Amino acid sequence: MRDLRLLPKAHLHTHLESTVRPATIRDLGGEPPVQDRPFIGFREFADQRATVRALLRDYEHFRRIAEEFCQDEAAQGVRYAEVTFTAAAHGERLGDPDMPLEGVVEGLAIGAERYGIQTRVILDHSRRRSAERLWRSLKLAARHPQVIAIGLAGDEAYPAAPFAEVLQAAREAGLHLVHHAGETAGPASVWEVLTVGHAERIGHGIRVLEDPDLVAELRRRRLPLEVCPSSNVLLGLVPSLAEHPLPRLVEAGLMVTLNTDGETSLAAEYERAREIFGCGDAELADLARASVEASFAPAEVKAQVNAEIGHWLSG
Ligand SMILES: [Zn+2]
């Protein structure tokens, strides 16, 4: 039994504001949320997250949570992370569009130096918000080279179509596009982000098995899914980990990556894949390799982490 904290991995789907340590929440004057049952609907989840986000007010707060994120991820064997951050929402709330992201970028740079983890930033955009805000996120991304992608998130009852124009502009500007879809909404939401959203990866996508044509299309394009089993159970979308579709997604020949959504540690999520899905070490190494392949990391980083995965497996 190899130690899964030592398995080198990439982490592609996690929200910075969901990773704030309980001790840090207390330091910022908040009360860490205790969640001992699944959320009642997406709204309750979103409201709880909003309470934590409201505690972040200063440059130093953003710098601190980004640095602590790096320390915590590195301790899980994460070598490379693409962390999602809702920069525009903080910027509007605090009346300073750049400050929150600048704090995060500095925290990540310090984290890289201290903990040896490489990171990039994905700016997400709630589907409930205006296209104007997404244009602002695009401009923000252009000013910060650490930002490599933008994507739609939030309540999937809201369509992606109103953002088609700005997403096209993002693509032309050289940004990657990764969207949440197929989590709460069905296969139609995934088709929509593939067509109007030019998605290069799907955040969650756990409902794609409902549509065999969609499965065939994703397999043909080798388009990765960012699967977050514990988060799905916590949000009440899947009754239990034992019933989670991850093994069936892998069996269907889809490119599956394992992620936390910010709701648990990544090593713990790999541990659950071992215990509940019965993955052996070779399959766990395959999941780690898929995370590296599906990432937007530079080629030399991919080669390095893949070599380290090989050492883990042969060690
Ligand atoms: Zn997410």
Report the percent of the chain where pLDDT is more than 70: 100
pLDDT digits (tens, 9 = 90+) for 174-204: 999 999 999 999 999 999 999 999 999 999 9
pLDDT digits (tens, 9 = 90+) for 152-169: 999 899 999 999 999 999
Confidence of residue 1 (pLDDT cuts 50, 70, 90): confident
pLDDT digits (tens, 9 = 90+) for 60-77: 999 999 999 999 999 999
Burial code of 120-141, b = ≥16 C-beta within 10 A, e = fewer?
bbbbbbbbebeeebbbbbbebb
Q: How many domains are there within the chain?
A: 1
Residues 6+ apart with CB under 8 A from 238: 206, 229, 232, 244, 245
Residue 73 annotated to the active site: no
- 37 pLDDT more than 90: no
- 39 pLDDT more than 90: no
Structure tokens at 196: 């109007």
Q: How far apart are the first and last CA of the chain?
A: 11
- Residue 285 phi, psi dihedral angles, 5° rounding: -65, -35
Q: If you average pLDDT over residues 244-261, what whole number do you get? A: 98
Q: How far is the CA of 113 from the centre of ligand 1 (A)?
A: 27
Strands (E), the chain: 9-11, 78-85, 118-126, 147-153, 176-181, 201-204, 225-227, 256-258
pLDDT at 30: 94
200 lies in a domain? Answer: yes
- 33 pLDDT more than 90: no
Q: What distance in Å separates the CA atoms of residue 298 and residue 29, rounded to the nearest whole number? A: 39
Count Cβ atoms below 10 Å from residue 251 Cβ, excluding itself. 11
Residue 266's Cβ-side half-sphere holds a number of Cα atoms within 13 Å equal to 35
Q: How far is the CA of 315 from the centre of ligand 1 (A)?
A: 34
Q: Report the CATH number at residue 68.
A: 3.20.20.140
Q: How far is the CA of 80 from the centre of ligand 1 (A)?
A: 18
163 lies in a domain? Answer: yes
Q: If you average pLDDT over residues 140-146, what whole number do you get? A: 97
Q: If you average pLDDT over residues 35-51, what whole number do you get? A: 83
- The domain of 307 spans 9-314
2 lies in a domain? Answer: no
pLDDT at 45: 84
247 lies in a domain? Answer: yes
3 lies in a domain? Answer: no
Place of tokens 């980990």: 241
4 lies in a domain? Answer: no
- 211 pLDDT more than 90: yes
Q: Does this model's pTM top 0.85?
A: yes
pLDDT at 118: 98
Q: How far is the CA of 181 from the centre of ligand 1 (A)?
A: 10
Which of these is catalytic: 67, 73, 156, 183?
183
Q: How far is the CA of 237 from the centre of ligand 1 (A)?
A: 13
Instruction: Report DSSP letters for 279-315, one per residue.
Output: --HHHHHHHHHHHHHHS---HHHHHHHHHHHHHHHH-
